[in-house]
C-alpha cells in the first residue's frame, strides 16, 4: 500500500491563508471591542461585542477564542457589577444603622430628661406642700410659674419623645428593608443563573 502525499492547490492554500488572516483580524477587533467596553464601563454582551467589532454573533459563537474572550469579559463585568451593588447596599445599610442608633441614643437622652424633670417637679410639689403656709403670695406665684414652665417642658419633651419614637420605628423599618435587599443580592451573587 503506497501513501501518496497530496500537494495542496496553490489557490486553496491562498484562500485558507486569507481566511486565517480575516479570522485573526476579526479576533483582534473582538479583543479591542471588549477592551473599549470595559474602559467605558458599558455592559459586555455578545450583541454589544459583535456590534463594536463589526462581526456576526455567529462568528462569536463559532470561534472558541472569541467565545472564551466574551464569556470571560461578561463574567468579569458581572462580578464587578455585583461587587459595586453590594458595596452600595452596604453603605446604605450602614447609614440606616447609624440613623437608627442615633435615634435610639436621642430617645434614651429624652427619657432621662423626662425622668429628671418629673423628679424635679415632684421635689418642687413636695416643697410647696411642706412650706405652703409659710410662703408669701409672691413666692407661691413664683413656684406656680416655675411649675407651669416645667409642665410645659415635660409636654414638649413628651412630644419630642413621640417624634423620636416614630423616627426610630421608621429607621428600623428601613433597616429591615435594606437587610432583605442585601439578602436578595447575596442570593443573586450565590446563584447568578437566577438573575438571567
How many angstroms separate the CA atoms of 143 and 148, rounded?
A: 9
Contact 168, 107 (CB under 8 A): yes
Nearest to 36 by CA among 55, 21, 52: 52
Domain 82-195: give its CATH code: 1.10.287
Average pLDDT over residues 60-82: 79
At 169 the pLDDT is 93
Average pLDDT over residues 76-92: 71
* 102: Cα within 13 Å, side-chain hemisphere: 9
* Grid cell in block for residue 81: 457589577
Q: Which residues contact 99 (CB under 8 A, 6 or more apart)?
A: 171, 174
Query: Of the ranges 51-55, 111-115, 154-158, which one carries the lowest mean pLDDT score?
Result: 51-55
What band does 104 get if pLDDT is binned at 50, 70 and 90?
Answer: confident
**What pTM was estimated for this model as a whole?**
0.35
**In the chain, where the domains are located:** 10-62, 82-195
At 176 the pLDDT is 92
Average pLDDT over residues 72-100: 74
* Grid cell in block for residue 9: 492547490
Q: pLDDT (tens digit, 9 = 90+) per residue, 2-16?
A: 545 455 577 787 777
At 194 the pLDDT is 58
At 158 the pLDDT is 95
How many angstroms separate the CA atoms of 1 and 4, rounded?
A: 10
Comparing 1 with 102, the larger pLDDT belongs to: 102
Q: pLDDT (tens digit, 9 = 90+) per residue, 130-162?
A: 766 676 788 778 889 999 999 999 999 999 999
Amino acid at each position: 500500500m503506497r501513501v501518496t502525499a497530496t500537494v495542496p492547490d496553490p489557490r486553496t492554500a491562498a484562500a485558507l491563508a486569507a481566511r486565517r488572516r480575516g479570522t485573526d483580524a476579526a479576533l483582534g477587533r473582538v479583543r479591542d471591542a471588549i477592551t473599549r467596553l470595559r474602559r467605558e464601563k458599558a455592559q459586555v454582551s455578545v450583541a454589544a461585542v459583535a456590534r463594536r467589532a463589526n462581526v456576526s454573533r455567529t462568528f462569536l459563537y463559532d470561534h472558541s477564542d472569541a467565545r472564551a474572550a466574551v464569556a470571560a469579559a461578561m463574567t468579569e463585568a458581572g462580578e464587578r457589577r455585583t461587587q459595586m451593588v453590594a458595596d452600595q447596599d452596604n453603605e446604605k445599610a450602614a447609614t440606616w444603622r447609624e440613623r437608627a442608633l442615633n435615634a435610639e441614643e436621642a430617645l434614651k437622652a429624652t427619657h432621662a430628661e423626662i425622668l429628671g424633670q418629673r423628679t424635679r417637679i415632684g421635689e418642687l410639689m413636695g416643697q410647696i406642700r411642706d412650706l405652703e403656709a409659710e410662703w408669701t403670695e409672691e413666692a407661691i406665684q413664683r413656684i406656680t410659674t416655675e411649675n407651669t414652665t416645667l409642665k410645659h417642658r415635660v409636654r414638649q419633651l413628651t412630644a419630642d419623645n413621640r417624634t423620636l419614637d416614630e423616627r426610630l420605628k421608621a429607621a428600623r423599618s428601613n433597616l429591615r428593608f435594606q437587610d432583605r435587599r442585601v439578602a436578595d443580592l447575596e442570593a443573586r451573587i450565590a446563584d447568578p443563573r437566577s438573575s438571567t
